[in-house]
Amino acid sequence: MALPQTYRKMMVTSLSTNFRKAIEIQRPSLPKLSGSAILVKNRYVGINASDVNFTAGKYNPGTHPPFEIGFEAIGEVVDAGDESKHLIGSSVAHMSGGTFSEYQKLQPSRVFKIPSAKPEYLPLLVSGITAKLALDMNAKLRAGEKVLITAAAGGTGQFAVQLAKLAGCHVIGTCSTAKKVEFLKSIGCDRVINTSEEDLKTTLKKEYSSGIDVVYETVGGKTFDTCVNALNLGGRLIVIGYISGYQESMPVGGTSARSLSALPIKLLMKSASVCGFFLLSYPQKWGEAFKSLSELYADGKLRSYVDQGINRDGGNLEGIDGIADAVDYMYSRKSIGKVFVDLCPDQSSKL
């Protein structure tokens, strides 16, 4: 494969929750390789709700632009140093900072080999690993438990639903459109609550008056309060995110004094717990989790859904210029499954 002298990559050049205002596309020279280093041509990149937290500098206070952005990609090893020549041509998945880039220089230890570079492997990374580790480490699911998953039709929600069903649980998922209702039913949700048509608090009180055992919570705000109130005796709520506040200026950890003051007594009286799960805290566990998810996917026990803009007026999300459009699409609440961008749609079908 003939390699270019330069390539395109996205950089954060100013701090803002407005993704478009924060980023700039630059064209650096292709990096030089030596030793075990490999060069990966990124084909598919995943879009995460937390991308706007990163452009706003919420995860690393005190960090100043410019810095790279993007958390996950699928691609092919196209060049390597002398120690890694045998990897050229391999299809790989990787979670490494700066994936919003046509090429990346990495170490072999940072990539996972996959059978082929198809986009369905992309959701198994950030979204899938988050769901698996959070449920394994914090939820400790038991068969027959009632599990509530908010924003269940999203990238990580789809896996939380399926993994909870595999554990023998009764699964309740929330979403916001009729299309998402049908999607969630198709992947095993026992009860789907369309919050555009039903009030979550009222529905939970009416249909689950005995309480919810586990909540996989990604929305925040009033939804978080409702979920805490719905916990059963010994219930566990896992905070995966707070997407309702990502595009606001509130720093990570910010919340209302009202919610904080009421939380201790609510948890105390139910012997319940609330904990946070942040994927970047557990890099040592990523490899084994990805392997487990890949095996479930290969065996047909886990389905992986991707969305390249299927419900978007502008068509497929393509090229590095399409990343900002993809972020907008995710926040439009029209997406189903993992939103992704094809960085090189004209590439030959061998990938």
What does each of the 351 residues of the chain score in pLDDT, given as a tens digit? 689 999 999 999 999 999 999 999 999 999 999 999 999 999 999 999 999 999 999 888 888 999 999 999 999 999 999 999 999 999 999 999 999 999 999 999 999 999 999 999 999 999 999 999 999 999 999 999 999 999 999 999 999 999 999 999 999 999 999 999 999 999 999 999 999 999 999 999 999 999 999 999 999 999 999 999 999 999 999 999 999 888 776 555 445 555 667 899 999 999 999 999 999 999 999 999 999 999 999 999 999 999 999 999 989 999 999 999 999 999 999 999 999 999 999 875 444
What is the amino acid identity at position 25? I
* pLDDT at 349 (0 to 100): 42
What pTM did the predictor assign?
0.94
* pLDDT at 350 (0 to 100): 42
Strands 191-194, 170-175: pairing is parallel
**Same domain for 134 and 177?**
yes
**Same domain for 132 and 39?**
no
- CA-based end-to-end distance of the chain: 13
Residues 6+ apart with CB under 8 A from 268: none
* pLDDT at 351 (0 to 100): 40
**Same domain for 147 and 190?**
yes
**Same domain for 102 and 130?**
no
> How many other C-beta atoms lie within 10 A of the C-beta of residue 331?
17
> How many other C-beta atoms lie within 10 A of the C-beta of residue 283?
10
Secondary structure letter of residue 302 according to DSSP:
S
**Same domain for 221 and 311?**
no
**Same domain for 169 and 106?**
no
* pLDDT at 259 (0 to 100): 62
> How many other C-beta atoms lie within 10 A of the C-beta of residue 197?
10
d(CA 267, CA 263): 6
State which residues form the domain around 39: 9-117+305-342
Number of domains forming the structure of the chain: 2
d(CA 45, CA 320): 9
Instruction: Tally the residues of the chain.
Output: 351
**Same domain for 88 and 199?**
no
Secondary structure letter of residue 190 according to DSSP:
S
For residue 60, the SS3 value is coil
* pLDDT at 244 (0 to 100): 85
Q: Please report whether residue 72 resides in a domain.
A: yes
